[in-house]
Structure 1
Amino acid sequence: MAIQEKTPVGEVRPSQLLWTYGPGALIDLPSLSVVTLGIDRWEKDRCQPIQEARLLSAVRKVLGQQVESLRMPPFQKGEPADVWSAEANIGVPVRPFPRWLRCVKCGLLAPYDGGLFTLKENRYRPERTRFVHAGCTGSKGADKAKDADAVPARFLLACRNGHLDDFPWHYFVHGGPSDCKGTLRFFESGASLQTENLWVKCDTCGVSRSMAHAFGKIGKENLPACRGRHPHLDQFEHDCDEEARAVLLGATNSWFPITVSALAIPQPNVSPLHQIVIDYWDDFADVEDISELKGTIKALKKRGEAQGIDKHEPEAVWAAIEAHRSGTSQAAVAESDIKGPEWAVLTEANPPTDYPHFLSKQVEVPGGLEKLIARVLLLERLREVNALLGFTRVEAPEESSDPDERAPMADLARSKPDWVPANQVHGEGIFIQFDEQALKTWEGRKGVERLDQRLRGGHRGWRNARHLNPDDGYPGIRYAMLHTLSHLLIRELALECGYNAASIRERIYADTDGDDSQAGILIYTAAADSDGTLGGLVDLGKPENLGRLLGQALDRAKICSSDPLCSEHDPCKDRSLHGAACHACSLVAETSCERGNRYLDRSLLVPTLDCADAAFFQGS
């Protein structure tokens, strides 16, 4: 990571550039705060492509057909031997933001490019790169001048349209536009750091104002209109009509990623070798003969890709390439439905057993659950690919195909991008398919219909409060039941085997609109570290283990430590998106849940204090 002049300032993990510190996000380093610039400023040639045709098709559906590829963020492989080499400058470009800094000794408040602060670079310890107030004499004007650290001002402006701006310090302290350009000071007046004890003062005219006046209803009167600034793109959108609000540096609502993910699955009626050719067609497309093919295979193996290709002779690979060329219309993937093809593969009568990124094994259903569960599939090998589409601020994006349901998405680049940041992780998982007839019988119960109306009422109230169509976006009671069970199992798996709970994720298959109704959950590990490949999750999917874990999870769900408040919660009354569910019983890490911990109700699984006639596992 470096600022525009190629000054190293710190480091983050490549996966964090999708989930936490992507384009437009602020990175709070030990002595600096910087914003990640748009992908049009990244070194594209250092971003390795990732092959996943279905995901690329889904990205194109949102961002346009000009998107050519998915690419990993640039990263260094180990520490460079020479900190002055070109390799040491591999990273993503950033810029100091906010522009305003505060001297820790005298409280001087000024922009870093105003000439009052100096950048102190440290190439051998990039995290120590910082700004200083040279010759500071302290707040009491001591005789001996000394350099003092300058830290970022902790307040910013943001709006729902994805804009981010410096806090208007002069405007705020003077109560509006003013000709006074005096020096500003930031100081504390009490023992705590509450906003009531934080003050800004102008040295020239002597006026001061508490930071408490920047928040709440009074903040609307003391802050200017949004200027439509995108600091990561160096541009302004002057027609923004959203209300600007003060936010704290490091606040979680300053950047929410909008991502889409897909599992790498084999295409129907395609052999493992042909699947490799399809997955890495960009590498094989320009190969003209077998001798050139051998060099391409060697390069792929050196990159650690195209696993399994060494099992086949070059002549067989060449034949697969020629067959693919002769039927290019069949290889073109136009499928933007992410979960549909995954469901088709997971529910095949004979699911694929040994593909480069997909290795499955069918096992028996745990005893006593044969009438409720139709299939258990252990995925001993799988790959998940994630792509970043954009981001929002202030309000989190909603997981829905309805664009009206989410806050406006901010762009990753000035113009339409021809690539987007992506990453791939390898892991393992457990797929559980439920009996369709058992689900239909359960959905017909009066208790289930009553809870369905309650959740639907909360959904309508939630959307009405946001001026959205109340009849759109409801996933259905089947989804809520499967989603809740997935959360309970994730929590139980984390307790049982010591997995980091945040490294376990879910995919819920509950679409009932098509010809083939879906009813299943996939719980899988997909973390960039070793958590995802230890084999522990697959072992827990065996009948003797899964039945025990499922029983334990359901037993824990019957009584919550927050009962009776938890079980009696009515989403209609507070316009929320969950019923009997809370942090004590059902909620998981935001990175693990595909719906932001919404549409949950444990009364759909087991009898609770408030509802005993809607449980899918009535006798468990």
Structure 2
Amino acid sequence: MTDRTPVGEVRPSQLLWTYGPGALIDLPNLSVVTLGIDQWEKDRCQPIQEPRLLAAVRRVLGPQVENLRVPPFQKSELVDPWSAEANIGVPVRPFPRWMRCVKCGLLSAFDTGLFEIKEYRFRPERTRFIHKSCRGSKGDQPAKDADAVPARFLLACRNGHLDDFPWHYFVHGGNSDCKGTLRFFESGASLQTENLWVKCDACGASRSMAQAFGKAGKENLPSCRGRHPHLDHFDDDCDEEARAILLGSTNGWFPITLSALAIPQANDPLGQLIQDGWEFFDDLDSEAAVAVTVKTLKKTGALPGIDKYSASAIWAAIEAHRQGGRQDTVGQADVKGPEWDVLTAINPPTDYPHFMSKKVDTPAGFERYICKVLLLERLREVNALLGFTRVEAPEESSDPDERPRMAALARRKPDWVLANQVHGEGIFIQFDEEALRAWEALAGVQQVDRMLMAGHRGWRNSRHLDPNEGYPGIRYAMLHTLSHLLIRELALECGYNAASIRERIYADVEIQHAGILVYTAAADSDGTLGGLVDMGEPENLGRLLREALNRAKVCSSDPLCSEHDPSKDRSLHVTACHACSLVAETSCERGNRYLDRSLLVPTLERGSAAFFTEL
């Protein structure tokens, strides 16, 4: 096996959301871990320009982060497997190290010499390990190569560590001098853990895999070694409990990301042009070079409008862009602020082809509640990967210091982070501030606010977080629920997959933000259908809102759904469940938390907290 053996393919967007650094990729015949970004070929990762998001990333990871970059990818599907382009990709390493022979049950690490890699250069997905000259579990069969598959059990902890399962320690009940060969076998008709056993050939010790989970697992497993397999590094100490997980389980890797919409700079059109065409100006070192580049751009039409400005003005804008201007002071909480300013502007600026909008009338009958509807015919969303967690998903918090321990993407502080950009379309709805304030003053709304706040405090207390932080407010819960109902309705009407529709909620009482943006930003053709904008026309949007609100009045899980009290079970939703309000977690910016349909319409249990009362 060479240092660059292709073993499979994943989509570039999956390297941000599913198979990023530190994640396991469960291939048909192999399991590999994606290595840290300090081992990637940086020059093959093209940079993305989005100053606001970069500033937010710097606030979390440090000022040394220079840029956002997309994962490397091959430009053609038909590539000579022996060419240089065939080696374009991300570095991975087999993990877990322990393999199991499917014929004899031999359990051993792949680097002990008992297994051999079989490479398929023309069909990378067939690359696999084999057990050479296997003679069966009793050693009485003719020698024949047999496939070896990864052992399906691993150790992980809440600090982001991942390690091989301690097979010798587990089967012998602790540290032992026995170095016998281990076998993995099944004893029953089903594949439940109590029917899966590991046995030592030398001393005869055996143990069921059921003893690796739950309370028994705490007694039978060693402490965490602090291993980061994607970094080839062990932390000095780890005080978290190591627990057994299964290969391919969803709790093995949770990404921590930031996202921002690429919005035009209304007051600086030249700066916007420089940002959009930065790949043309990045290497320029003088005003004379600018003049030559602008002349070329004018002939090719690659950056329309740049020829309207003088070389000196363009050079000054380039210098300002390199210095970062005032963008370095942008905080994470400020990411949505500039977006709101552009979306609510009387005449929103245009930045073709990244941002195009059209204002339409408010749907008939909703004038009391909605003050503006803006159709985003084109938009661009940029996402950046900050790190990841294991075992438990990252908690929501407005304070970056309060997040759970985030595993790093590189051994040292990274000078770039993984990012991707997707294009799509959306519908922005701004709500009337006076109507919202009158609604927030209702006694029924304040009662729901207290219930949800009690659930919020209990939920955070159970996770050892400050109970007084992170509560988004009752306004957010109402807007968030309406966004979910609209996403569910749009998925039925506009032809988009429900998981490809996303949301951004703007709900800040102090600065009078009250709006929702429902948009699609998918890495495939789902982002170019045009159906979502058409659903934002007044006659269509009014019908969709009415249908969504009518469906929300009664849930198929009522009365259990409508009677739910979050203060009793420390949950983060009131009248909401999978049957009526929840959407795919890839669509929701809060992980399906802070939802209550009784804040929108009267329900079986509560009718005094509804915002839409005159429909």
- Fold match (TM-score > 0.5): yes
**337, 353, 358: which one pairs with 2:355?**
358
Is 1:54 equivalent to 2:52 in the alignment? yes
Structure 2 counterpart SS, 1:250: coil
**Where does 1:250-269 land on structure 2 (aligned, <5 Å)?**
250-269=248-267
**332, 336, 340: which one pairs with 1:339?**
336
**142, 151, 155: which one pairs with 1:153?**
151
- Residue matched to 1:314: 307
Contact 1:284 1:321 in 2 (8 A): no
Tell me: CA distance 1:617–1:134, structure 2 relative to 1, closer, same or farther (3 Å).
same
Contact 1:284 1:296 in 2 (8 A): no
**484, 488, 493: which one pairs with 1:491?**
488
Contact 1:264 1:382 in 2 (8 A): yes
- Residue matched to 1:616: 611
Aligned-residue sequence identity (percent) comes to: 75
Q: Partners of 2:351 and 2:393 in 1: how far apart?
A: 39
Q: Partners of 1:10 and 1:240 in 2: how far apart?
A: 34
Shift of 1:172: 0.4
Contact 2:21 2:37 in 1 (8 A): yes
**106, 119, 128: which one pairs with 1:108?**
106
Structure 1 counterpart SS, 2:327: coil
**Where does 1:556-595 land on structure 2 (aligned, <5 Å)?**
556-595=551-590
Q: Partners of 1:65 and 1:300 in 2: how far apart?
A: 36
Deviations 1:293-335 (A, max 9, x none): 6558969999xxxxx8543363637465135257667944232
Tell me: CA distance 1:257–1:330, structure 2 relative to 1, closer, same or farther (3 Å).
closer
**Where does 1:169-568 land on structure 2 (aligned, <5 Å)?**
169-271=167-269, 273-281=270-278, 283-287=280-284, 288-289=286-287, 310-312=303-305, 314=307, 316=309, 318=311, 320-325=313-318, 331-334=325-328, 335-336=330-331, 337-403=334-400, 405-513=402-510, 516-568=511-563
Structure 1 counterpart SS, 2:309: helix
Structure 1 counterpart SS, 2:546: helix
Shift of 1:218: 1.1
Deviations 1:244-274 (A, max 9, x none): 0000000100100000000011123122x44
- Residue matched to 2:87: 89
Deviations 1:340-369 (A, max 9, x none): 111111111222245442111111000011
Structure 1 unmatched runs, 5+: 303-307
TM-score by length of 2: 0.96
**23, 26, 37: which one pairs with 1:25?**
23
Tell me: CA distance 1:495–1:4, structure 2 relative to 1, closer, same or farther (3 Å).
farther
Q: Partners of 2:432 and 2:292 in 1: how far apart?
A: 48
Contact 2:131 2:145 in 1 (8 A): yes
Structure 2 counterpart SS, 1:383: strand
Could you tell me which amino acid in structure 2 is paired with residue 221 of structure 1? E
Structure 1 counterpart SS, 2:522: coil
Could you tell me which amino acid in structure 1 is paired with residue 489 of structure 2? E
Q: Partners of 1:549 and 1:290 in 2: how far apart?
A: 56
Q: Partners of 1:490 and 1:260 in 2: how far apart?
A: 21
Shift of 1:123: 0.6
Q: Partners of 2:319 and 2:66 in 1: how far apart?
A: 22
Contact 1:579 1:600 in 2 (8 A): yes
Shift of 1:141: 2.6
Tell me: CA distance 1:309–1:348, structure 2 relative to 1, closer, same or farther (3 Å).
farther
Deviations 1:133-175 (A, max 9, x none): 0111122333311111100000000000000000000000000
Structure 1 counterpart SS, 2:107: strand
Q: Partners of 1:607 and 1:206 in 2: how far apart?
A: 66
- Residue matched to 1:125: 123
Shift of 1:619: 2.5
Tell me: CA distance 1:619–1:561, structure 2 relative to 1, closer, same or farther (3 Å).
same
Contact 1:507 1:594 in 2 (8 A): yes
Tell me: CA distance 1:461–1:533, structure 2 relative to 1, closer, same or farther (3 Å).
same
- Residue matched to 2:40: 42
Contact 2:132 2:144 in 1 (8 A): yes
Q: Partners of 1:442 and 1:55 in 2: how far apart?
A: 34
TM-score by length of 1: 0.95
Contact 2:298 2:304 in 1 (8 A): no
Tell me: CA distance 1:233–1:299, structure 2 relative to 1, closer, same or farther (3 Å).
farther
Could you tell me which amino acid in structure 2 is paired with residue 333 of structure 1? Q
Tell me: CA distance 1:291–1:454, structure 2 relative to 1, closer, same or farther (3 Å).
same
Q: Partners of 2:503 and 2:302 in 1: how far apart?
A: 30
Tell me: CA distance 1:422–1:325, structure 2 relative to 1, closer, same or farther (3 Å).
closer
- Residue matched to 1:305: none
| Residue correspondences, number | 610
Output the aligned Cα RMSD.
2.0
Q: Partners of 1:241 and 1:436 in 2: how far apart?
A: 49
Shift of 1:466: 1.0
Tell me: CA distance 1:422–1:189, structure 2 relative to 1, closer, same or farther (3 Å).
same
Contact 1:293 1:314 in 2 (8 A): no
Q: Partners of 1:18 and 1:122 in 2: how far apart?
A: 27
- Residue matched to 2:140: 142
Structure 2 counterpart SS, 1:170: helix
Contact 1:4 1:95 in 2 (8 A): no
Could you tell me which amino acid in structure 1 is paired with residue 315 of structure 2? E
Could you tell me which amino acid in structure 1 is paired with residue 256 of structure 2? I
Contact 1:404 1:468 in 2 (8 A): no
